[in-house]
Homo-oligomer: A and B are copies of this chain.
Amino acid sequence: MNANVNESELDKLNTALEEGAFRQIRYTLNKTLRPSEVAHLIEKSPPKERRLLWSMIHKDIEADVLQELGDDVKSEILSKMNTSEVLAISESLEPDDLADMMQQLPETVMHELLRSMDHQNRERLEKVLSYPEDTAGGLMNTDTITIRPDITIEAALRYLRRHAELPDMTDCLFVVSRKDTYIGSLPLTRMLVSDPSSTVREMMVTDKPPIQADMEDTLVAKLFEQEDLVSAPVVDENNQLLGRITIDDVVDVIREDADHSLMSMAGLDEDEDTFAPIMKTTRRRAVWLGINLITAFMASAVIGLFEETIGKVVALAVLMPIVASMGGIAGSQVLTLMIRGQALGHVERSNARWLLNREMIVGLLNGLLWALVVAVIAVLWFQDMTIGIIIACAIMINLFAAALAGTLLPILLKTWGIDPALAGSVLLTTITDVVGFFAFLGLATFFYS
């Protein structure tokens, strides 16, 4: 498929929206585009257009579109539906998506929904709901195809042919005992090249242990990446087969996981809707600005200690942001590298010491280099040798402090159970600002008094 064609199709749709050509839009939404493309279009539209688009979607594809939407957008749309609309949509969702949706519904609607389901579906849903959203159990679906180990491949093929269709992303059948205990997997690719008279037991694969339902979703993602899996069985603590996880849901975990570091470092939520309404956005941003204001005042307080010195040598006020800024930049490089390393599972206790040593040496070397450069410029600018010496020392101290803070903060924060991506950058700039101003103005007070 040529994605450019789609892009221009979406552009056309935008023009149509502006011109109010609703019949054309309705046709495109329901006949030309796939649910995933409709969802993409809704996500990149401002709130008013979003409501308009949603209202033009046919009931039949509402559920498909809904489950392609991001959490933030999804809950916005769900919050505007009445109970019967929610019920109608829930019928065509898979258990894992339904479980996700449940968590965004008001209590009353949720109970209504559970009551309206038939026994089998409610049981399936409750199985998924009984595990936290960010575990293998919360990620799994229950649409497994199981076979017994003692039948022949030929019988298994006949059994499959009795199905009208197989679930999407079925790349293997799960071999279970009479009591649903997981025994092994039979990849379809293996089944297709097997001698039909051999048994499932002979052909099945048992070297890949099943996933425990309480495994963290990020670990599940790592496993899928390392083993190049398409689907994997999920079992409980008694090795009973509960369901399966498929790569499409794992890709969502990987994407969210990777977005998390980027967004958190700017104090944003990874689910943050690009087109969130103004008041919601203002409120969320205000909190982050408030937190950062406290750290800014701490830096100001440090400067306040040296008012007298600044009054005597105003050049200090001109140069002091350079010291703080160089420290902040150097520190955030280390911090970002460490946070990415933690996400990839590269950074842990056993290599922390090596990383700290490396970063301290890098900090010292870059400190030396840039201290020299800045000192020369400062001396030429203000025709004052002393200020050159002071700023050189301050920059070396601050780049060293930045290396220390950038390396140790993420490790310490993680040990304390605090998200380094969220708290790291605020704490780091506090440290580099305070150390930078204190070193620079402190040295100046010493030299100029």
Measuring CB to CB, which residues of chain A are less than 8 angstroms from any residue of chain B? Answer: 1-3, 11, 14, 34, 36-37, 40, 43-46, 68, 157, 160-161, 163-171, 188-190, 192-195, 208-212, 215, 219, 222-228, 230, 247-248, 251, 254-255, 258-259, 261-263, 265-268, 272, 274-275, 278, 281-282, 285-286, 288-290, 292-293, 295-297, 299-300, 303-304, 307, 310-311, 314-322, 324-326, 329-330, 332-333, 335-337, 339-341, 344-348, 350-351, 354-355, 358, 361-362, 365-366, 369-370, 373-374, 377, 381, 429, 433
Contacts and interface: CB of A to CB of B under 8 A. Distances in A.
Contacts of A272: 337
Nearest to A163: B193
19 contacts: A1-B208, A2-B215, A44-B346, A44-B348, A46-B355, A68-B226, A168-B189, A171-B171, A188-B189, A254-B258, A262-B340, A265-B265, A267-B329, A282-B366, A285-B333, A285-B362, A293-B322, A304-B318, A311-B311
A263 B340 contact: yes
A243 B43 CA distance: 33
A347 B314 CA distance: 45
A230 B247 contact: yes
A54 B96 CA distance: 42
Nearest to A18: B350
B318 A228 contact: no
Given A188-B189, A317-B320, 18 more contacts: A44-B345, A44-B346, A45-B351, A164-B193, A166-B192, A254-B254, A254-B255, A259-B340, A261-B262, A262-B340, A266-B335, A274-B341, A275-B355, A281-B358, A281-B362, A282-B361, A285-B333, A310-B314
A14 B318 contact: no
A135 to B, nearest CB: 12
Nearest to A309: B314
Given A3-B215, A11-B350, A303-B318, A188 B190 contact: no
B209 A1 contact: yes
Q: Among A163, A248, A299, A347, which residue has the most Cβ atoms of chain B within 10 A?
A: A248
Contact of A321 (B45, B307, B318, B321): B321
A292 B328 CA distance: 10
Nearest to A399: B289
Contacts of A68: 226
Contact of A230 (B40, B46, B169, B307): B169
A322 B297 contact: yes
A399 to B, nearest CB: 8
Q: Among A194, A224, A285, A307, which residue has the most Cβ atoms of chain B within 10 A?
A: A285
B166 A326 contact: no
A78 B314 CA distance: 55
A367 to B, nearest CB: 10
Contacts of A289: 326, 329-330, 366, 370
A442 to B, nearest CB: 15
A192 B157 contact: yes
Q: Among A208, A335, A348, A366, which residue has the most Cβ atoms of chain B within 10 A?
A: A366
Nearest to A276: B358
Given A261-B262, A274-B346, A348-B44, A165 B190 contact: yes
A435 to B, nearest CB: 14
B297 A336 contact: no
